[in-house]
């Protein structure tokens, strides 16, 4: 279960292992329509920070749904993983364990390259193994970047926080098999997700009203003819109207945000 900033999604997988020389074969479990077993509930898990005991009822529909597609005799042996991402990193850090942004990036990098079959080795050596792809994951509250580095490369920058200069992962089953060992660059930017960026942008727009007597503000980035009512944290409301400006003006407004 992926507990994101706007909701929690259930994904059900099956896996088989035929050899310790190859990665485990992971595939989505399928429903009666031959579609992957996926279900989402709203809102985000972080909304239960003030009443955490209700979180059990919140995830129960996901577990009940998944159990329909798991053989009854396999239920006691089916592991459940609930991983929370950036939405939970925005709340207080008491009595909570959340996966770090770097691991969110690593998991996404592994998922992308696994789907693209970049880890299929056959009899390949580490020299001739498939070239992996880099990944940019823009979630609801954060953004992750991950890509493979050459074993001899290093990356350091005083302008990037939490940069991992030498992160080694082993996806294989044996320590003596270097074919599945990868050196990754991974970094995360909390607050640069889609929803969090939009929230800060709308806050910036609403702050303009503090110096006017208007109850609305024109938004350079909204689609044509769209109107939107925004509720402020102080209980007041204001309207967003589309403004007829060019794309360059939209970029200029967004670049001014203090994300």
151 marked ligand binding residue: no
Q: Name which of 73-82, 132-141, 189-198 the model is least confident about.
A: 189-198
* Same-domain status, 183 and 200: no
Q: Is residue 23 part of a domain?
A: yes
- End residue of a domain, out of 146, 161, 191: 191
Average pLDDT over residues 7-17: 90
Segment 147-176, tens digit of pLDDT: 999 877 776 655 555 545 558 889 887 777
Q: Is residue 113 part of a domain?
A: no
State the total domains in the chain. Answer: 3
Higher per-residue confidence, 4 vs 252 = 4
Helix or strand (DSSP H, E) at 66: helix 55-67
Q: Name which of 56-65, 126-135, 242-251 the model is least confident about.
A: 242-251
Question: Please, what's the largest Cα pairwise distance for the chain?
Answer: 72
101 marked ligand binding residue: no
Q: Is residue 94 part of a domain?
A: yes
* Same-domain status, 131 and 211: no
3 marked ligand binding residue: no
Report the SS3 class of residue 11.
strand
Strand segments, DSSP code E, in 35-141 are 38-41, 83-84, 135-138
What pLDDT shows up at residue 140? 85
What pLDDT shows up at residue 175? 78
Expressed as residue numbers, the domain containing 184 is 121-191
Segment 221-246, tens digit of pLDDT: 777 777 778 776 666 677 776 665 55
Q: Is residue 107 part of a domain?
A: no
Distances (CA, A) of 101 to 86, 138, 189: 7, 12, 8
Distances (CA, A) of 42 to 104, 196, 221: 21, 17, 27
Burial of 31 (0-12, 13-18, 19+ CB in 10 A): middle
Q: Is residue 110 part of a domain?
A: no
* Same-domain status, 92 and 20: yes
Task: Provide the mean pLDDT of the chain.
Answer: 80
User: Catalytic site residue 104?
Assistant: yes
Cα 138–Cα 143–Cα 146 angle in degrees, nearest 5: 100
* Same-domain status, 2 and 67: yes
CA atoms within 13 Å, Cβ hemisphere of 97: 2
What pLDDT shows up at residue 95? 43
7 marked ligand binding residue: no
Q: Is residue 105 part of a domain?
A: no
Strand segments, DSSP code E, in 139-192 are 142-149, 167-170, 181-190
What pLDDT shows up at residue 156? 61
9 has pLDDT over 90: yes
Catalytic residue among 104, 148, 202, 220: 104
Q: Is residue 157 part of a domain?
A: yes
Average pLDDT over residues 71-91: 80
CB neighbours of 137 closer than 8 A, spacing ≥ 6?
Answer: 104, 105, 108, 143, 144, 145, 146
* Same-domain status, 212 and 179: no
140 marked ligand binding residue: yes
* Same-domain status, 9 and 60: yes
* Same-domain status, 34 and 50: yes
Average pLDDT over residues 41-68: 90
What pLDDT shows up at residue 197? 83
Average pLDDT over residues 69-89: 83
97 has pLDDT over 60: no
Q: Is residue 1 part of a domain?
A: yes
Torsion angle of C-alpha atoms 58, 60, 61, 67, degrees rounded to 10: 160
CA dist 182 and 82 (Å) reads 25
Segment 100-114, tens digit of pLDDT: 778 888 999 999 999
């Amino acid at each position: 279960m992926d507990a994101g900033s706007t909701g929690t999604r259930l994904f059900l997988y099956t896996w088989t292992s035929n050899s310790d020389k190859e990665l485990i074969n992971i595939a989505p479990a399928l429903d009666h329509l031959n579609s992957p077993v996926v279900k989402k509930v709203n809102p985000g898990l972080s909304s239960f920070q003030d009443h955490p005991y209700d979180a059990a009822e919140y995830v129960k529909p996901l577990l009940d749904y998944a159990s329909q597609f798991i053989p009854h005799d396999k239920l006691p042996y089916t592991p459940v993983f609930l991983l929370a991402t950036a939405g939970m990193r925005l709340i207080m850090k008491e009595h909570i364990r959340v996966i770090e942004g770097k691991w969110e990036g690593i998991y996404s990098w592994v998922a992308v390259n696994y789907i693209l079959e970049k880890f299929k080795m056959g009899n390949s050596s580490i020299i001739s193994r498939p070239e992996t792809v880099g990944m940019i994951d823009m979630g609801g509250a954060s953004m992750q970047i991950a890509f493979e580095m050459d074993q001899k490369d290093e990356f350091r920058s005083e302008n990037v926080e939490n940069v991992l200069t030498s992160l080694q992962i082993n996806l294989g089953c044996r320590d003596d098999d270097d074919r599945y060992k990868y050196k990754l660059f991974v970094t995360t930017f909390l607050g640069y997700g889609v929803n969090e960026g939009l929230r800060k942008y709308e806050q910036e727009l609403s702050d303009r009203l503090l110096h006017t007597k208007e109850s609305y503000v024109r938004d350079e980035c909204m689609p044509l003819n769209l109107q939107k009512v925004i509720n402020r944290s102080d209980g007041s409301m204001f309207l967003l109207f589309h403004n007829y400006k060019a794309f360059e003006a939209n970029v200029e407004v967004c670049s001014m945000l203090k994300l």
